[in-house]
Structure 1
C-alpha cells in the first residue's frame, strides 16, 4: 500500500494556509503547516516523512529563500515556491537556490495539486528505476571518485558535499569527457523539459560545482566552458 504523501505548507497568511490545507486533505494528502520560516525549519527537523514543501517566497523574518537554502544544506525534499513574483529573475533565482518548481499567485488549486503530483511521480520514478550511472557503484576519473549508491563524492582524497543538482551535473559530464553539452541539454537532463527557457540557471549551478571540485575555479581543469555553446568535462583529466 502506497503511504499517504505528507505536504508541509508554509505561508504567513493563515487564510491561505487554511484554503490550501483543506483542498489538499480533500485530495488525499496529509498536511503539516507553518506560519513562518523558523517554524518550517523546525517541522523539517522534527518530521522525517515530509514528501514536499509548499513554501511562500515572501515572509517576514526568515524568507522563503532563506528557508530553501537552509533545507538544501541537509535535505533534498522537493520544494515548490508560492510567489507573487513573476519576473524571470525571480523564477531563475528560485531554481538556482534549489527549488523544484514555483507557482505564481493567484493560482488555481487544481493547478497546484497537478504540480505536486508531477513532482511526486518524478521522485517515485527516480527511486524505482536504476539510473545509468548506478551500473557501477564506484566511478573514478582523475582525482574524483563517485560512489553512486551512497551519492558520495571525493575530490583529491577529501569528501565534497554536493546538492542534488550539482551531483547530477557532475555525473552527466564526467562520464562523457570532451563531449560538449549545451545549457538547454543540461537543463532538460537535470530538471526536465518544463524548465526549457531558463538555461541561465545552469551557469549558477556549474559555478557552484566548480568551487567545490576545482582547485582554481577561474581556470578549471574539470568542468570547462565552451564559449557560445555550453560545457564539457576536461578530456585530459
Structure 2
C-alpha cells in the first residue's frame, strides 16, 4: 500500500522534482504551494507524513508546524519532516522544539530525503513490534506517568501529554530501559534512526520537549535524568 505524503513547499520546481522522484518509489504525494493550502490539504488528504518547508510567504513553516501540533485527535501526531534553508542550526532547533520529527537542510539529495522519509515511517511502524519477552503489557506505568504503547498516548495524573511521533518513540525506548544509563547513540539506535541523525545534539532538544510534557518542573527533572558526559537515564522510581 502506497504511503500518502503532503509536501508544503512554495518552490514549484522543487516540489515537482520531489513529487516525481518519490512517486517512482511508490509514494502518493500531494503538493500545496503555501501554508494555508497545506493546512487545508492536511484535512483532506490525511497524509502519513508531511514534508514542510520552513521559509514560505504568508504563514511560514514554523507557524504551520505549530498549528498542526495544535490540531485535535490523531492529526496532531502526523510526522513532520521540515526543510530548512542554509542548514542553520537555530532553525533546526526551533523546528524540533515546535514538534518537527526530523529536518533536512537545503539543498539536499533526493535520495537522502527518501531515506529520511522511510526512517520516520519505519519508526512509526515499528513502534508496536517489540517482542513478548520485553513487552507483556502495552501499558508502562511509573507513578502518575502512564505510557500506552498500543494507543500511543502518554498521561500524567490522567492528563494527556502532547508529544510528536518521534518523541513518543524516544520516551518508550528510555522507559523500556528504565534504570539503565543510555548514551545518545544508544537512544537513537533504539528508535532506528541513528544513521540518519546528522545533527547529534537534536536528541537533547527532543528530550527537552519530552521533559516539558511529562515533568512537573522540566528544569529540575525527576523522570529523565542527565548523566553528565554520558547521556540520560529514565528513573525507575517516580512519584
Structure 1: tracts of 5 or more residues without a match = none
**8 Å contact from structure 2 (residues 146, 154) kept in 1:** yes
Report the secondary structure of 2:56's partner residue: coil
**8 Å contact from structure 1 (residues 9, 33) kept in 2:** yes
Residue 129 of structure 1 corresponds to 129
Matched, 1:146 2:147: yes
Report the secondary structure of 1:135's partner residue: coil
Matched, 1:38 2:36: yes
Residue 52 of structure 2 corresponds to 55
Mark the structure with the bigger radius of gyration: 1
Separation (CA, whole Å) in 1 of partners of 2:162 and 2:147: 12
User: Alignment RMSD, CA only?
Assistant: 3.0
**8 Å contact from structure 1 (residues 5, 30) kept in 2:** yes
**8 Å contact from structure 2 (residues 96, 205) kept in 1:** no
Separation (CA, whole Å) in 2 of partners of 1:228 and 1:160: 29
Deviations 1:23-56 (A, max 9, x none): 44455432311110111111112222x2332222
Count of residue pairs the alignment pairs up: 233
- The alignment's TM-score, normalised by the length of structure 2, stands at 0.79
Shift, 1:117, TM fit: 4.4
Residue 18 of structure 1 corresponds to 16
Question: CA separation of 1:134/1:69 partners in 2, compared to 1, >3 Å: closer, same or farther?
Answer: farther
Separation (CA, whole Å) in 2 of partners of 1:217 and 1:118: 29
Question: CA separation of 1:166/1:114 partners in 2, compared to 1, >3 Å: closer, same or farther?
Answer: closer
Shift, 1:161, TM fit: 2.8
Report the secondary structure of 2:81's partner residue: strand
Give 4+ residue runs of structure 1 displaced > 6 Å after superposition: none
Separation (CA, whole Å) in 1 of partners of 2:151 and 2:10: 37
Structure 2: tracts of 5 or more residues without a match = none
Report the secondary structure of 1:75's partner residue: helix
